[in-house]
Amino acid sequence: VGTASFLKRDQALLRIRNHLVRECLAELPAIVTLILMAPSGSAQVVTSSGPKGNVLSAWLVGTLAITAAVYTVGGASGAHLNAAFSLATCPLEQFPWWKFPLFVAVRTSGAFLSTGAIYALCCGTGRRVGTRWGNTTAVPGWLCPRSADTTWHYSNGTLAAFGPRETASVFAAYPAGYLSLSNSFLDQVMGTAPLIAGVLDTHNKGVPKGLKPAATALLTFSIAMAVGFTCSCPMNPTQAFGPWLFTYTAGWDTEVFRWVK
């Protein structure tokens, strides 16, 4: 009885009554869940050069991560996860405009932090002097990979966003080398449009409420299988920019922001 009353008292003290704060705190672990799982699948594909997975397994992990994230926090914040989806709901008056930049900032912060966790798992945290972009330099920053860890071992000490031993795609999506900027933009529009339309459609045969996260994941998986080859199918600006920002600070430099060659 004493333990139960103690837990109730603590719950009352820790309970956050502000609805906006609860929504933001819900979106944060949702995007962390998504980022922790999706790049981990990509890391196995890239660094093992095939034996530990392929494109199919990487996309499957990413879509299952969406299911887990939406089931976890959907009741608290709606689990938009995607800045493009939130933006699309603003003109429809389903999401207030003033919340949009705040939620983008929260999701980007979560993506940045969770990318750091994947970096620590794949790269380690020790200092290393290595070869970068053809020059022997000290890798900057407080997160510097050890030579024995996965990504560093795979890349032979080179931090690159493009090329045969690039490792930036472990953390974020990048286009194929032959793709122009205009085709990259068109690819993302055509990939994101059916996702937003499918999730927002409630006038036809609606999906039962408890199955919406799974249906969203299946829709995302089908889009990735259809158009994911050219740009790795990011469809989520938050999921792209947060990892780009982290890899920039971790030593990949401004090359990570170069969308096309």
- Is the CB of residue 27 less than 8 Å from the CB of residue 47? no
Domain of 54, in residue numbers: 18-127+140-173+237-257
Longest Cα pair distance anywhere in the chain, in angstroms? Answer: 67
In a domain, 196, yes or no: no
In a domain, 245, yes or no: yes
Identify the pLDDT of residue 209.
Answer: 75
Using the Cα atoms of residue 248, residue 252, residue 255 and residue 257 in order, give the sign of their dihedral.
negative
- Is the CB of residue 231 less than 8 Å from the CB of residue 188? yes
Backbone angles phi, psi at 178, to 5 degrees: -90, -5
In a domain, 183, yes or no: no
In a domain, 223, yes or no: no
* 73 contacts: CB under 8 Å, gap ≥ 6: 26, 27, 29, 30, 79
In a domain, 50, yes or no: yes
Could you list the mean pLDDT of each consecutive 10-residue stretch along the chain, which spans 261 residues? Answer: 58 65 81 80 71 75 84 75 86 88 88 84 51 40 45 71 77 78 83 85 71 85 82 78 86 73 51
Residue 254 is classified by DSSP as: G
In a domain, 158, yes or no: yes
168-204: string of b/e by CB count within 10 Å (b at 16+)?
Answer: bbbbbbbbeeebeeeebeebbeebbebbbebbeeeee
Backbone angles phi, psi at 207, to 5 degrees: -80, 135
Indicate which CATH number applies to the domain containing 35: 1.20.1080.10
Distance CA 134, CA 6 (A): 61
In a domain, 225, yes or no: no
AA letter at 11: Q
* 99 contacts: CB under 8 Å, gap ≥ 6: 20, 23, 86
Distances (CA, A) of 211 to 26, 30, 151, 196: 20, 18, 37, 17
| Full-model pTM | 0.76
Identify the pLDDT of residue 137.
Answer: 39
In a domain, 84, yes or no: yes
Q: How many structural domains compose the chain? A: 1
